């Protein structure tokens, strides 16, 4: 191959290389980088081809970017959607599984603890009733005093509100358990 | 792992626990580049915003199991947004339809009508005039810095097909931006 023919072949190969990879030589395959280093430095036409490819890369890099206002509005939309999904997907699925398990284990354990927790106030109320009943019965003022005693113990309103199945002590403890749930969550 | 990658990893871990502030920081960091990819691959800004939003929301939903590599979150986001764009173009049969358009369609007339405007807008027009596959290959290779192999994997085509798309894209752009190129070259002092 004559020098002239080789030069033509090199230029054609360089043109193809520049069309594929652009002027940034770090993007070229290593073998091509080596091959064309001397070609570009020795052949002015090759050097000119590289300059044209560089100019095209500069133009491509000048392509416009989205406006700040458009990006900010999109950010707000993304955050609004993400926060809407938070209780359903992220709080259960995306949290570490160990902590989710422990929360649910504690939540399951709470109802079992509740009956034992309400035993002592109920027993105290019953004991007080017994003592007062004996005293008031012996004094002959049972009916009137019984009503006052029920108000003091809070049983009357609880009975009225809950058809006599739940006493006020249980309701108070129920609130406490609910607040524990809220803390856990 | 670099500082940026470490910060990404910490923010993703916090987002996985439902930390909205951490997620907001990730959105601040990465949305612009995600949106830029989507805008260049899809020619419709509204569609690009939809894809960018879906990409970031996928990050939020899957943060729990996400393994942030040494390069940070950017490669994962780039892969997701590119795949979403390609899926959209395929589902709308845009790849096939646009492929039938001539390579240099309308570039000259569009260019003439936009002469008075700034160079970046003219480049936008030229990029939008490219067929979808050429623009996708160029976006992934030039703007996102992916390798030829990675571009081929995302687009589901061979290395040779990627080379062909890149070469045709650059040829079309050179023709469409001929005047701008001449201006730039005339500004460059001779060696």
Determine what percent of chain B is predicted with pLDDT higher than 90: 48
User: What crossing angle do the helices spanning A44-61 and B178-187 adopt, rounded to 10°?
Assistant: 110
The pLDDT > 90 percentage for chain A reads 31
CATH 1.10.10.10 residue ranges for chain B: 93-184
Q: Nearest CA to B34 among B6, B60, B62, B54? A: B54
Which one of 1.10.1740.10, 3.40.30.10, 3.30.70.100, 3.40.50.720 gives the CATH number of domain B1-92?
1.10.1740.10
Per-residue pLDDT at B1: 62
Burial class (CB in 10 A: 0-12, 13-18, 19+), A88: exposed
pLDDT in tens, A122-176: 667 677 777 776 666 665 555 555 556 556 555 544 444 443 333 434 444 444 4
Chain A residues whose CB is inside 8 A of the B16 CB are 94-96
B93-184 maps to CATH 1.10.10.10: yes
Q: With both helix axes pointing from N to C terminus, report the angle between A119-139 and A97-117 in degrees, rounded to the nearest 10.
A: 20
Chain B residues inside the 8 Å CB shell of A94: 15-18, 61, 63-64
Cβ of residue A43 closer than 8 Å to a chain B Cβ: no
**CATH 1.10.1740.10 location in chain B:** 1-92
Chain B CB within 8 Å of residue A92 CB: no
CA distance, residue A26 to nearest chain B CA (Å): 11
Among A19, A27, A64, the residue with its CB nearest the CB of B167 is A19
* Residue B59: Cβ-neighbour burial (10 angstroms; 0-12, 13-18, 19+): buried
Rounded average pLDDT over A88-97 = 45
Cα Rg for chain B, rounded, in angstroms?
19
Mutate to test the interface with A, among B142, B183, B186 (most CBs of A within 10 A): B142
Nearest to B142 among A18, A60, A86 (CB): A60
Strand, coil or helix: A26: helix
Instruction: Give the pLDDT confidence score for residue A23 in this predicted structure.
Output: 93
| pLDDT band per the 50, 70, 90 thresholds, residue A179 | very low
Q: Quote ipTM for the complex.
A: 0.71
Q: What pLDDT, on a 0 to 100 scale, did the predictor assign at position B70? A: 80
Chain B residue nearest residue A26, CA to CA? B145
Confidence of residue B81 (pLDDT cuts 50, 70, 90): very high
pLDDT at residue B154 tops 50:
yes
Question: Is the minimum CB–CB distance between A64 and chain B shorter than 8 Å?
Answer: yes
* pTM for this entry: 0.56
Q: Residue A46, SS3?
A: helix
Tell me what pLDDT residue A139 has: 59
């Amino acid at each position: 191959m004559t020098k002239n023919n080789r030069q033509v072949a090199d230029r054609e190969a360089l043109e193809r290389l520049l069309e594929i990879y652009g002027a940034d030589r770090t993007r070229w395959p290593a073998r091509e980088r080596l091959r064309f280093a001397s070609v570009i430095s020795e052949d002015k036409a090759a050097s000119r081809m590289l300059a044209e490819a560089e100019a095209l890369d500069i133009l491509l890099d000048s392509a416009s970017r989205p406006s700040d206002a458009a990006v900010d509005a999109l950010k707000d939309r993304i955050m609004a959607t993400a926060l809407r999904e938070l209780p359903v997907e992220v709080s259960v699925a995306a949290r570490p599984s160990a902590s989710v398990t422990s929360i649910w284990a504690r939540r399951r354990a709470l109802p079992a603890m509740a009956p034992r927790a309400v035993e002592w106030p109920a027993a105290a109320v019953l004991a007080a009733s017994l003592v007062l009943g004996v005293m008031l019965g012996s004094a002959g003022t049972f009916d009137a005093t019984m009503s006052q005693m029920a108000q003091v113990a809070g049983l009357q309103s609880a009975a009225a509100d809950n058809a006599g199945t739940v006493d006020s002590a249980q309701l108070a403890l129920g609130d406490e358990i609910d607040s524990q749930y809220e803390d856990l969550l | 792992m670099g500082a940026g990658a470490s910060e990404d990893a910490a923010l993703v871990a916090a987002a996985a626990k439902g930390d909205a502030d951490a997620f907001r920081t990730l959105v601040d960091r990465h949305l612009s580049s995600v949106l830029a990819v989507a805008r260049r691959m899809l020619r419709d800004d509204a569609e690009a915003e939809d894809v960018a939003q879906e990409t970031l929301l996928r990050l939020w939903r899957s943060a729990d199991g996400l393994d942030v590599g040494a390069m940070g979150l950017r490669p994962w986001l780039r892969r997701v947004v590119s795949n979403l764009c390609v899926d959209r173009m395929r589902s709308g049969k845009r790849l096939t339809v646009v492929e039938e358009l001539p390579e240099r369609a309308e570039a000259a007339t569009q260019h003439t009508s936009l002469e008075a405007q700034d160079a970046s807008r003219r480049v936008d027009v030229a990029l939008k005039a490219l067929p979808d596959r050429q623009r996708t290959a160029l976006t992934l290779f030039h703007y996102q810095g992916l390798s030829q192999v990675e571009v081929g994997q995302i687009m589901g085509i061979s290395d040779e097909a990627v080379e062909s798309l890149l070469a045709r894209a650059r040829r079309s752009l050179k023709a469409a931006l001929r005047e701008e190129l001449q201006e730039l070259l005339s500004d460059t002092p001779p060696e």
